[in-house]
Amino acid sequence: MNVKRLIFEGEGVTLDFKKTITSCEKIARTMVSFANNKGGRLLIGVADDGTIKGVKAEDEERYMITKAAHLFCKPALEPVFEEIYVDDKLVLVVDTPESILKPHYALAEDGKWWVYVRVKDKSILASKIVVDVLKRSASNEGVLIEYSAKEKALLEYLEKAARITIKECCELLNIGRKRAQRLLVDLILSGIIRINTTEKEEFYTAV
């Protein structure tokens, strides 16, 4: 594994740098977001700007990460550790594979369990729609789409406007938020529309 090349590529959807582990809650959030996505890798001993600082207390870092994976993630995660020396400094590489038990929840400072997903180089709180998509895609249950006037109106709108938010969907179809969520989840799981999550908003586009 070429750690310097990874650092050069920078943090992103599948890569995160941590100079040191200071909080089980924070590291659980990152690992959960990896597991709920396509998996990811933590480089411990690397600063946010890519500077290799090295790990000082390797056993302590391993303990914190394992504790976070087992006690602060639900279902628990099993990170894979690898030690790599770069310029005589130890970098602890922690892999969190994509999970088949989605969604995974992380225990937050407020004592509540929340689902996180990875968006670019950030771990973002998942919306109700994203959580439902994760749950139903993991359960392998089939989706029966009934093409009512509502679905037709939504798809016709997307042909012209290219994108829609859940608020706009409620207004367009004159339905409540829960019904709009169910409709969007069905269309996402059927591969008809795509969910787009950014740090600021979530919107939907035709595939």
- Residue ranges of domains in the chain: 3-126, 135-206
The answer to whether 87 touches 52, Cβ cutoff 8 Å, is: yes
* pTM, full prediction: 0.88
Tens digit of pLDDT for each residue in 23-62?
Answer: 999 999 999 999 999 999 999 999 999 999 999 888 999 9
Query: What pLDDT, on the 0 to 100 scale, is given for residue 146?
Result: 65
Tokens at 170, concatenated? 């409620």
Query: What pLDDT, on the 0 to 100 scale, is given for residue 143?
Result: 62
3-state helix, strand, coil in the chain (%, to 5): 40, 25, 35
Tens digit of pLDDT for each residue in 68-106?
Answer: 999 999 999 999 999 999 999 999 999 999 999 999 999
CATH top-level class of 3-126: alpha beta
Query: What pLDDT, on the 0 to 100 scale, is given for residue 57?
Result: 83
CATH number of the 135-206 domain: 1.10.10.10
Residue from 16, 1, 82 nearest 50 by CA: 16
Query: What pLDDT, on the 0 to 100 scale, is given for residue 199?
Result: 87
Query: What pLDDT, on the 0 to 100 scale, is given for residue 137?
Result: 85
Buried b (16+ CB within 10 A) or exposed e, 79-92: beeeeeebeeebbb
Query: What pLDDT, on the 0 to 100 scale, is given for residue 144?
Result: 63
Query: What pLDDT, on the 0 to 100 scale, is given for residue 187?
Result: 92
Q: Over range 119-142, report the average pLDDT.
A: 88
Confidence of residue 165 (pLDDT cuts 50, 70, 90): very high
Total number of residues shown for the chain: 207
- Beta strands 105-107 and 73-74 are antiparallel
What percentage of the chain carries pLDDT values higher than 70?
Answer: 97
The answer to whether 55 touches 3, Cβ cutoff 8 Å, is: no
In angstroms, rounded to a whole number, what is the distance separating the alpha carbons of residues 32 and 19? Answer: 19
Decide if pLDDT at 175 tops 70. Answer: yes
